[in-house]
Amino acid sequence: MRVCVQTRVRLVVLCLFEDCDEAFDLCSLVVFAFGDIALKKAEVPVEMHLYAQGGHAFGLRRTKFPITGWPQLVETWLGTIGMISE
């Protein structure tokens, strides 16, 4: 049996955080920030956004807060790094 393994897989990382969620520990953001440095050294595209408000599990529901626009930001970012057509 012959197994073919792809040696170059494109990895991308997207993180969205909002600051007023009691379930979220801002220490996690600090840990991610250090990971971000390593990812950039490895030439892995990274996008990170920290929103002031949004509520736990903000998902796709529309709100009055700027976090509501995150799906469009993801789409734009994926286009700029060549993952989807712009």
Is the pTM here over 0.75, yes or no? Answer: no
Q: What one-character-per-residue DSSP string does 10-69 give?
A: ---EEEEEETT-TT--HHHHHHHHHHHHHHHHTT--EEEEEES---TT-TT---SSGGGG
| Tens digit of each residue's pLDDT (9 = 90 or more) over 15-64 | 777 766 666 666 666 666 666 777 778 788 888 787 888 777 777 778 88
Between 19 and 83, name the one with better pLDDT: 83
